[in-house]
Amino acid sequence: MGTSFLEVLHDPLTRKVLGFEAVHAEKTAFVSGVTSRLKFLLNDAANHLSFLKIGYTALEAFLQANVTGPPLNFDPNEAIIPESYRNEDLSSLKDEFLTYLSVDGSRPYLLTPHIELFWLAKVMLSNSTLAEAGFNGYRARMRVNFWHQKLLAEPSPSLRDTIYSDADMLERLLASRVAANSAEAEDHFVEFLVERASIRTYYGDDALARADLARAATMRRFQFAVTGVLGKRTKFQDRDTSQLVVLARSSEQQERERDSSSDHDNGSNVPSRPANVPLNDDTLLEQIQFTSASASASASVSTSVSEDTMTHVATESALSHELSSLDPSDQPLLSPMDSIILLATASSITNTSPDDGLVREETLPYATRVLGGGSSNWQVYTQALLVRSRIEGYRARTAERGLLQLQALVDQVIAETTDPEAALQTHASPQGSTSQPESSSSQATPPTTFLPKPKASESASVAERLRYIYQLSPPLRWELEAELAARWTHMGGLKTALEIYERLQMHAEVALCLAATDREQEAIKLLRGLLFDDETTAEKAETKEETKETKETKEKTASSSSSTTLNLRSPPPADTPRLLCILGDITGVPAYYALAWKASSNRYGRAQRSLGRHFAKQRDYKAAAQAYTLALGISRLDRSSWFALGCLQLEMQEYQNATETFTRCVQLEDQDGEAWSNLAVALLKLPKPVAGDDISQIQSEPGTEPKGGPPSSRANVVDPYRHVREALRALRRAATLKRDDARVWDNYLTVAASIPPSAGTPWNEVIQAMGRVIDLRSKKEGEGAVDVVDNGTSTSTSTSTSTLTPPTTITITTSSSSDPNPTSQSSTANNPKLPYLVRSFLTLVDTQITPLATSSPALYDQLSTISLWRHRPAQALTYAEKAWRVHLTSISPAETFDQVSEAQWASVVDKTVWLVRRYRDLGPQERERTGGAVEAKWRFKAKSAARRVLGRGKGQWEGTDAWGRLKEEMDGIDA
C-alpha cells in the first residue's frame, strides 16, 4: 500500500471494498454495497491495519480539502466512486452520503466539499470490529466521530456518548502503557490529553479540559504561569504599570527535539507562517513594552502545573527560577505541543463567557505568548492568530484588527482549500436543493479574496499543516466563514454578513440575521419557501393557530394541525428540524416545533426544549415537563434541560421528583449556585422522615447531631430534621458559589436557624450567615438590614423553613438571662475565656450591628440587653436612653403627644416606665472600667424623663390609666 493519499485510495484493497472490481456483478446500492463488502473483508484480521490506513487517508484528505489546504491534487469522486455510479445521478449519491451521516435529527452542511471522503472515513473507522480491536482502533473512531460532530450544526448526544466512552478506554490503555514504560507511550498520552481537552471544551466541560491540559503540561515538564510585570501598553504612558503576561518555557529536552526537527524539515531558520495583521492604532502599542528587570532569586518551587493554578495570576515569589529568569519581551520559542496547550487553555477559559471583558483580559496573554515567541508550526501559528482575533473582536481599539485578521484567515483558507477548476462542480446546488438561483450562479467563479492572497512564504507543506490537526481542532472552512459573518453582524456590517450566509447557503443563519434586524416577515417568507410546498397553506395554518379562542385549545390542536395542514417539501431540506424550530421561534407557533420533532423521527431534542419553553410561558407546566422529559431522553447530559425540568416540578409541587432532578443537575455542573439553591428548596418541601425511611447514607454535620447519645445508641431513631440538614448542605454550597448574593445567604441563615437547639442548632453557621447578610445589605439598607424581634427567647433567628421565599430578613432576639450558646449558660460575661460561639456573636454585634444603629428603638433595646448581659451597665443605660429617645421621635418627631392615638400614647408611657426602671436598676451600679456610679443623678434623670412625657401629653391624656401609671412610677422613685 502506497504512502500518498492517491496511492492509498488506488490500492487494490481499497478498490475492492469500494466495488471497482465488481463491474460484472449485479448492481446494488453503493452505500450498502461498501458496508457489506467491508464487513466481509474484515473477517481477515490481516486486513485490519490496512483498513485503518484507508480510513485515516480519507479523513486527512478531507481535512486537507476543508480545513488546512492546499487543494487536493486528485478528484476524490474518481478515486472513490466507480464509473458506473458516477455516470448516473452523482448528486443523489451525495445526498445518500449526507443521509448516512445524519445523527439525532441533524445533517452535515449541505455544500460540504468532498463529502465522499468523510463518508469513506466514517464507514471504515467507526466499524465496531475495526474500532474495538485495540488502541489504534479506539483512537481512530474517537477522531472521526468528533469531526463528524463538527460537521453538524448542533451537538449530538449519541456521538458525544460514543466519543467520551472511547476516550475513557484510551485513557486506560495509555495509562497502562505509561506504567509499563512503553516506548513513546508518554508522547501518545500527552497528545491524547490535549486532544481530549479540545473535545471537552467543544462540549462545554471547561474544568475537565483544563484538568487534562494540566496533566499534559506536567508530563511534558512544560512550565508556564500568568503573572504581572511592569510595562507600558499605550504610546502616551509616562509610567510603568503592572501588565498581565504569560511566562512560558519548554523543557530542555523538548527544545532540543524541536531544534533538531526544525533543522531537518526546513533549511532556513525562519519558519513559514501566515501574515500577522498589524494593529496600527494611534494609542495602543503593537506589543506591550516590558521593563527590563534582573532575575530575582527564587526559592525552590514546584514545576508541576495544576488545574487550580494554571489560570490564576501567580506572584513573583511563586515563579520557578526558570520562569522568573525569562525576559517577558524576548521569550524563547515554544515547541508546537506546548503552544497548543497554551491556546487550548485560553479556549477553555473563554468557552463559558466569551463576551466578558475580564475573561478576555485574562486570556489574551496566552495567545500573545504563542505569537510573540513565534511558532515552529504553520497550523499552530494560524490557530494562535484565530484565538487572538476572537478575543480582540469585542474591544473598541482592537476590533478592527480582530476583524481584519479573521478576514485574512478566511481568505487564506478559501484560497488554499478551493480548487478553481472544480469550483463550479463543488458549489453548484445538488438536485433537490432549495437554494436560490442567484446563490448558485455566484459560486461558478474562481475563489476571490478580500485581502491580497497569501505569499508563498506564508504557506507550508501538507505534512506540517496536518501534524497537529487533531489536537488543534481548527474550524472547517464554512464554519470560519460563518464566524466572519457573525463578526460582521456584531460590527454592524449586516449586508456583508447576509452576503456571506447566502453564498454559503446557510438559510437558518440568513433567517436569524433577518429577524435580528427587524425583518421578520422576510425571514418567515424565506423559511416557508424552503420548507413547504404551498406557502399559502402554511400561512393559513399559522392564522388558524393564532385565532383559537383559548390557549388550551391552541396547545391541544398543535400536534394535529402540524400533520394535517403543514405539508413539507419532498424531499425536505437537509436541516429541516432546525429550520422549523427557527420558524417557530419567529412566529411563536408551537405547531412548527411539533413538526420538527416528527420530521427528525423523534430525535431532535431542541424541538421539545422549544415546546417546553412555550408551554412554560403559557403556565401549562405539565405539558412543559413532558416536553423536557422527552428532550432529556435524547440528551441525558443537557444540564439546562434538567434545571428547567426541576423548576417545573417545583411549580407543580412534585418535590421528590424535583429533588432527584436538581441532584442530577448539580452532578453535571457542580458550580451552579442556582441549582444548589433550588435543590435546598425541594428538600425543605419534602415530608418529615418517618420510621422505616432509609437513613443509612445520611450523615449529620459535625457538632449538629441530635441530642440523645452517640450514633450507636440512636440507630433506630428517626431524625425529623434530616431533610433540613441536607438542604443546609446544599445552601452552604450555593453560598460558596454565590458569595455576593444576599438572597442565598438569607435562605442559608433561615434554614440554619430553623434547627432547634434540641436537634443541634449550627450556631457557627447562623452567626456566619447573619454577618454576611448584614455585610451585603447594610450599604444600601443601613440598620434596615437587621430586623430585630424581641420575644423573650435566646439569641437566635426567629424565622422558619416555611418562610424560605426571597427576600427573607435577619432577626435577632435576646433576653437578659440567655446565652447564644445553649451549652454555655454556666459561663459568665466577665470570664475572659468565653466559648468561641459567644465570642463570635459578640464580635458580630460590636463590629457589624452596633455601627448600624441609628433610629431603631428595637435595635437599641437589644443592644442594651446584650450590654447588661456583658456586665456593662453604663453602656446598657446609654443604649436604653437612645432607645427611649428614638421611640418618642418615631411616635411624634416634635414629641408632642396631644394628637397621637391612644395606642401610641400607651406605647410612649410603657417605654418611659421601662426607662425609669432602667435608671433605678443601673444608675447605682458601679461603672465598668473607670469605677464610680453609673449615673449619680439617676433619680433626677428618671423624674425628668417622666415629667417630660407627662407635660407633653397633659392636655389630652391627663386622668387616663396610662397617665396614672406613669405618675405612680415617677412618685415611686424616691420610695
Cα–Cα distance between 412 and 428 in angstroms, integer?
22
% of the chain surpassing 90 pLDDT: 55
Q: What is the pLDDT of residue 536?
A: 55
Judged against a pLDDT cut of 60, whether residue 62 lies above it is answered with yes
222 backbone dihedrals φ, ψ, rounded to 5°: -90, 125
Q: For residue range 216-267, what is the model confidence (pLDDT) as tens digits?
A: 999 999 999 999 999 998 998 888 988 999 999 998 777 666 666 655 555 4
Judged against a pLDDT cut of 70, whether residue 651 lies above it is answered with yes
- The grid coordinates listed for 892 are 411624634
- The grid coordinates listed for 970 are 415617677
Looking at residues 809-830, what average pLDDT do you find? 39
Higher-scoring residue by pLDDT: 635, 296:
635
**Confidence at 428, pLDDT banded by 50, 70, 90:** very low
Q: What is the pLDDT of residue 27?
A: 74
Q: For residue range 138-191, what is the model confidence (pLDDT) as tens digits?
A: 999 999 999 999 999 889 999 999 999 999 999 999 999 999 887 788 999 999
Cα–Cα distance between 331 and 118 in angstroms, integer?
41
% of the chain surpassing 70 pLDDT: 81
Q: Among 291-305, 455-469, 517-531, where is mean pLDDT lowest? A: 291-305
70 upstream amide cis, omega within 30 of 0:
yes
Looking at residues 596-617, what average pLDDT do you find? 94
Q: What is the pLDDT of residue 899?
A: 86
Cα–Cα distance between 522 and 511 in angstroms, integer?
8
Count other C-beta atoms under 10 Å from residue 931's C-beta.
Answer: 7
What DSSP assignment string belongs to 375-393?
A: BS-HHHHHHHHHHHHHHHT
Instruction: With beta carbons less than 8 A apart as the criterion, state whether 194 and 471 touch.
Output: yes
**Confidence at 510, pLDDT banded by 50, 70, 90:** very high
Instruction: With beta carbons less than 8 A apart as the criterion, state whether 185 and 209 touch.
Output: no
Q: What is the dihedral of CA 424, 430, 431, 435, to 10 degrees?
A: -90
Looking at residues 915-922, what average pLDDT do you find? 93
Cα–Cα distance between 391 and 436 in angstroms, integer?
35
572 backbone dihedrals φ, ψ, rounded to 5°: -75, 165
Q: What is the pLDDT of residue 700?
A: 45
Looking at residues 931-939, what average pLDDT do you find? 89
Instruction: With beta carbons less than 8 A apart as the criterion, state whether 878 and 927 touch.
Output: no
Q: Which residue, among 800, 798, 801, has the nearest Cα to 790 in the 3D structure?
A: 798
What DSSP assignment string belongs to 383-423?
A: HHHHHHHHHHTTSTTTHHHHHHHHHHHHHHHHHHH--GGGH
Q: What is the pLDDT of residue 940?
A: 93
Average pLDDT in the chain = 83
**Confidence at 675, pLDDT banded by 50, 70, 90:** very high
Q: For residue range 579-602, what is the model confidence (pLDDT) as tens digits?
A: 999 999 999 999 999 999 999 999
CA 726: distance to chain centroid? 25
Q: Among 89-98, 211-220, 672-681, where is mean pLDDT lowest? A: 89-98
CATH of domain 506-635: 1.25.40
How much is the pTM?
0.78
Q: What is the pLDDT of residue 270?
A: 55
Which amino acid is residue 36, in one-letter code? S
**Confidence at 821, pLDDT banded by 50, 70, 90:** very low
741 backbone dihedrals φ, ψ, rounded to 5°: -100, 105
Domain ranges across the chain: 5-151, 215-290+301-474, 506-635, 872-975
Q: What is the pLDDT of residue 550?
A: 45
- The grid coordinates listed for 589 are 407557533
Higher-scoring residue by pLDDT: 380, 564:
380
**Residue 871 DSSP class:** T
Q: Which residue, among 389, 371, 303, 276, has the nearest Cα to 333 in the 3D structure?
A: 371
Higher-scoring residue by pLDDT: 707, 106:
106
Instruction: With beta carbons less than 8 A apart as the criterion, state whether 244 and 313 touch.
Output: yes
Looking at residues 945-960, what average pLDDT do you find? 89
Please state, in angstroms and as integers, the Cα–Cα distance from residue 53 to each residue in 125, 653, 678, 765, following that order.
9, 57, 52, 62
Q: What is the pLDDT of residue 946?
A: 92
Q: For residue range 373-388, what is the model confidence (pLDDT) as tens digits?
A: 777 799 999 999 999 9
